[in-house]
Amino acid sequence: MTIIIYGLAMAALLGLLKVVEYKYFVRDIPLDFYVGVVAIMFTALGIWAGLRLTRPKVIDRSGPFVLDESALQRLGISKREHEVLGLIAGGHSNQEIADMLFVSMPTVKTHVSNVLAKLDAGRRTEAVRRAKELRLIP
């Protein structure tokens, strides 16, 4: 979303610069001024977008962990999927999870893919980060 906003802002700034160039400053100001203005605007816009994209998210961990049951119900995460999510957060592989829960590998893979889909995550690490933000796991 930030990239789209950045692109639209660049297009708007260029359009504004062209309007100003044609209407007001065509005869009075040299081309170097326009190049400098564009460079300053895009530098400022790039710094803003870069800071916005690279700002780390802070997870509030003050106080003891309390499971958010409403988030579990809202996302539709079952007890078994929650258990699998906890084991994923513990760094266990699919085979280790299957051995710990006494289920087959395809069953674990199904649970993992369900958890990823319900948390809208592409990777296990992203699912763990999102689950911590939602207070689903400690």
User: What confidence score (pLDDT) does residue 60 get?
Assistant: 63
Lowest mean pLDDT among 49-53, 61-65, 110-114: 61-65
Q: Are the C-beta atoms of residues 136 and 68 closer than 8 Å to each other? A: yes
User: What confidence score (pLDDT) does residue 23 get?
Assistant: 62
Q: What band does 105 get if pLDDT is binned at 50, 70 and 90?
A: very high
Q: How far is residue 103's CA from residue 97's CA, in Å, rounded to a whole number?
A: 8
Q: What is the pTM of this model?
A: 0.57
Lowest mean pLDDT among 37-46, 59-68, 96-105: 59-68
Q: How far is residue 32's CA from residue 65's CA, in Å, rounded to a whole number?
A: 59
Tens of pLDDT along 34-44? 778 778 888 88
* Mean pLDDT taken over the chain: 84
Give the list of residues 6+ apart from residue 114 with CB closer than 8 angstroms, or none.
Answer: 81
The DSSP result for 21-33, as a single string, is: HHHTSTTTS-HHH
| Helical H segments across 24-104, by residue range | 31-54, 69-75, 79-89, 94-101
Q: Which CATH number fits domain 69-133: 1.10.220.10, 3.40.50.300, 3.40.640.10, 1.10.10.10?
A: 1.10.10.10
Written as six digits, the tokens of 47 are 């710094």
Q: Looking at residues 59-64, what average pLDDT do you find?
A: 69
Q: Are the C-beta atoms of residues 104 and 94 closer than 8 Å to each other? A: no
Q: How far is residue 121's CA from residue 129's CA, in Å, rounded to a whole number?
A: 9
